[in-house]
């Protein structure tokens, strides 16, 4: 968790964090999984992706927010158990046969302090033809992403099976990734 001191100007924060565009191009062929990126946070959550596990070619994939976003681009594939605000989730096809690093970053402010917390994770757990959800939440001193598989139970009911909780720990990532994860940005 990083804490930055500065005066927050409401118009600047609104302009810099309120836009939502999708910068991810879905694969059309190969081994694919359907993945929902979601949050219930009222602050804007930015999701960045890196081409390799060495974190080369950083791109901003999307922004999520449980509330209004300027230039919102809702995206749904019809994955079951979706109960989020239309700006708080996006669903995509993701290649399940390649490793890809993504990082969820959320910020909140209290007074003149801005709290920023990012959760990096590697999507190597994805299996083809399955549905997943990656859910980001920001707490007082930490943040996390819960990875769940959306599947049918033995009784035929659709459920979210929790696979793993990811924290804001950068353990297991190389120096190049850690440098990008720690890079200060004005969202």
- Domain limits, the chain: 2-173
Give residue-wise pLDDT tens across range 93-139: 999 988 889 999 988 777 787 778 889 999 989 999 999 999 999 88
* Assigned token pair, 51: 């081409």
- Are 122 and 53 in contact by the 8 Å Cβ rule? The answer is yes
Distance CA 136, CA 86 (A): 15
Lowest mean pLDDT among 3-17, 143-157, 173-187: 3-17
**pTM (2 decimals)?**
0.84
Is the confidence at residue 15, as pLDDT, over 70? no
| Whole-number Å distance between alpha carbons of 23 and 169 | 26
| Tokens read off for 127 | 């299996």
């Amino acid at each position: 968790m990083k804490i930055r001191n500065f005066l927050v100007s409401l118009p600047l924060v609104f302009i810099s964090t309120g836009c939502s565009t999708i910068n991810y191009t879905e694969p059309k062929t190969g081994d694919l999984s359907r993945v929902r990126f979601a949050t219930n946070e009222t602050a804007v959550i930015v999701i960045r992706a890196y081409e390799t596990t060495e974190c080369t070619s950083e791109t901003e994939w999307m922004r999520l927010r449980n509330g209004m976003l300027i230039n919102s681009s809702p995206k749904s594939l019809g994955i079951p158990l979706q109960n989020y605000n239309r700006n708080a989730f996006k669903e995509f096809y993701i290649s399940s046969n390649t490793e890809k690093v993504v990082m969820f970053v959320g910020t909140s402010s209290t007074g003149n302090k801005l709290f920023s917390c990012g959760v990096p994770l590697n999507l190597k757990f994805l299996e083809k033809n399955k549905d997943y959800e990656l859910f980001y939440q920001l707490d007082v001193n930490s943040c996390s992403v819960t990875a769940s598989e959306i599947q049918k139970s033995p009784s035929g009911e659709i459920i979210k099976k929790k696979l793993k909780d990811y924290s804001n720990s950068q353990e297991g990532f190389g120096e190049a990734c850690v440098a990008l994860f720690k890079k200060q940005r004005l969202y």
